[in-house]
Structure 1
Amino acid sequence: MASFKFELVSPERLVLSEEVDQVDLPGTEGDFGVLANHSPFLSTLRAGVLTVKRGSEVRKIFVRGGFADVSPAGLTVLAEKAVPLSELKADAIAQEIKNAEEDVADAKSTETRHKAEQRLAQLREVAEALRAA
């Protein structure tokens, strides 16, 4: 299988930079996968699990929003937050859910409330995925 350059960047650091075979991402319009020589495009990401495949190795990384840029040079993901699923603790997700619930309660406009409710739903999906992993 052909490989391509993948970089995952969070505000804190460069999380990953290597040649990979496939990356599956949680897009806001639906999940999508990227292989070598994928057509260029830009997508926003929702909170969810990003899966990186290289040979028989599979790594799962929790991302909280961001952007994915597929170009002839490869795939670059700029994530608001990126944590390997193996390092993610259920109590950390529970705290994120609690914060999102507070954001919903504190929302002053319909639009703000809607965005907060979407984020809360996504975090609950991640908590469920973490339980299933």
Structure 2
Amino acid sequence: MATFQLELVSPEKLLLSRPVEMAVLPAADGEMGVLPGHAPMIVALRGGVITVREGGQETEKLFVAGGFAEVSPNRVTILADEATPVASLSRATAEERIAACRKALEGAAEMTPEKREAAMARLLAAEAMLAAAQAA
């Protein structure tokens, strides 16, 4: 089966770089499947899980807290704000993040719209992290 090069980079390190058959990305507008030959685009990512398929089956799941993906017909490069294998996620850590984000949003009335939006995005990413940790 045809493949494309998938690269996942976080601020800490290169997490993944190999040919894959398909990747499902948590795009800001909804789940997005990428196959070889996909039209070029740049996509904003929300907090969620990237699913990688190789050899006709799901081989890897990685949680990303947001970022961007550059898609071309033969390569996808993901620049993630934070990335963690789903199997390594901790429910307790996710619950702590949710509590901290909710506390930060308590003062939302005094925030600029941009800061409110960023705080809400962090809360949604933390909730997606908890959902991924519970599903693992």
Superposed counterparts of 1:13-52, under 5 Å: 13-52=13-52
Write the distance in 1 (CA, Å) between the matches of 2:85 and 2:105. Answer: 27
**Pairs aligned (count):** 133
Query: Would you say the 8 A contact 1:2–1:36 is kept in 2?
Result: yes
Question: How far apart, in 1, do the equivalents of 2:124 and 2:10 lie?
Answer: 22
**More deviation, 123-132/55-64:** 123-132
Q: Which residue of 2 aligns with 1:125?
A: 128
CA offsets 1:86-130 (integer angstroms, 9 cap, x no match): 111111211221221122123332523244234323422331232
Output one character per residue of 1:14-54: Cα deviation in whole Å (capped at 9) or x when no partner: 00000001000111111101000100000100001110111
Q: TM-score, normalised by structure 1?
A: 0.90
Cα RMSD for the two superposed structures = 1.7
Shift of 1:80: 0.3
CA separation in 2, counterparts of 1:30 and 1:130? Answer: 20
Q: What secondary structure sits across from 1:37 in the alignment?
A: coil
SS of 2:134's equivalent in the other structure is helix
Would you say the 8 A contact 2:89–2:129 is kept in 1?
Answer: no
Q: CA deviation at 1:57?
A: 4.4
Distance 1:19 1:33 in 2: 15
Where structure 1 has 5 or more consecutive residues not aligned to the other structure, the ranges are none
SS, match of residue 2 in structure 1: coil
- Distance, in Å, in 2 between the alignment partners of 1:90 and 1:40 is 36
> Aligned with 2:12: secondary structure?
coil
Give SS of 1:120's match: helix
Segments of structure 2 that go 5 or more residues without pairing to the other structure are none
* TM-score (norm: length of structure 2): 0.88
Instruction: Give the 3-state SS of the residue equivalent to 1:11 in structure 2.
Output: coil
CA contact (8 A) 2:50 2:63 kept: yes
- Using the aligned pairs only, state the percent identity: 41
Equivalent residue, structure 2, for 1:6? 6
> Higher mean Cα deviation, 97-106 or 111-120?
111-120
Q: Deviation above 4 Å: which 4+ runs of structure 1?
A: none
